[in-house]
Amino acid sequence: MIRKIIQIDSEKCNGCGACAAACHEGAIGMVDGKAKLLRDDYCDGLGDCLPTCPTDAITFVEREAAAYDEEAVKANLIAKKLEKELVSLSASCQGDCSGEDSFAESRTPQNPDIRADVMPDTLCSKLSNWPVQIKLAPLSASYFDGANLLIAADCTAYAYADFHKQFMAGRITLIGCPKLDDIDYAEKLSEILRRNNIASVSVLRMEVPCCGGLETAVTQAISASGKFLPYQVVTISTEGAIL
């Protein structure tokens, strides 16, 4: 569609970042020291950024551009907020979650059949992105860059006791259930894979038949993305064991 949207002159931009701070939609970011319109559908065309620019580097133009997507903007802002909170949480966990802690004694198993050396050694969450539901996830986000992507069935987090440590750690996590969500996972996941620099994809599913829909959707998404990606599938039994 043809609509009014901002245009940034990189020659005039002095890299002050005032426009990025003034943009409530997160449409403007700083790239290599210069302001840049990150996505057309994040720009509402109202121009809150214009009066903040000291060099008049921002103007309005009318051109072919994607329509303003309020839901995508909300998801992106939530993701950015969580990203900042996770950085802060990660820093605090460096000290609190290393080595032994005050919960060590309470975690010691009383059942002699349970080995102490396989008990969790940390209580810190391994979640590194938000939102995690496939249907709510943004199509692109900074945390997708170079990510090892975990696409997990909802039930796996409840069935497998060490879900955070063994599967979520070091990965970006998306979860869903094709039996409950009335959306085309394959279409959305293919867009995520196409738009972002994903390093690998892992699927964690239950042994039940309905989870086959999740695995199929991911396979179709990888094929539709046109990319060759390292790919693995891990299946969890209803008793909580890796098959």
What ranges do the domains of the chain cover?
2-64, 124-236
Q: What stretches of 65-124 adopt beta strand conformation (E)?
A: none
Average pLDDT, the chain: 84
CATH of domain 2-64: 3.30.70.20
Of 119-123, 140-144, 157-161, 171-175, which range is least confident?
119-123
Residue 174 has pLDDT above 90, yes or no: yes
Percent of the chain past pLDDT 70, that is, above it, reads: 83
pLDDT band at 8 (very low <50, low <70, confident <90, very high): very high
Q: What confidence score (pLDDT) does residue 179 get?
A: 84
In terms of residues, how long is the chain?
243
- For the segment 2-31, the average pLDDT, to the nearest whole number, is 92
Residue 124: how many CB atoms within 10 A of its CB?
17
Q: Which pTM does this prediction carry?
A: 0.54
Residue of 46 and 107 predicted with greater confidence: 46
Of 11-25, 40-54, 112-126, 147-161, which range is least confident?
112-126
Amino acid at 212: G
Same fold across 2-64 and 124-236: no
The angle at the Cα of 118, spanning 116 to 119, to the nearest 5 degrees, equals 70
CB 152 within 8 A of CB 234: no
Residue 74 has pLDDT above 90, yes or no: no
CATH of domain 124-236: 3.40.50
Reported as a single tens digit per residue, the pLDDT across 190-242 is 999 999 999 999 999 999 988 999 999 999 999 999 999 999 999 999 999 99
Whole-angstrom distance, CA of residue 1 vs CA of residue 150: 35
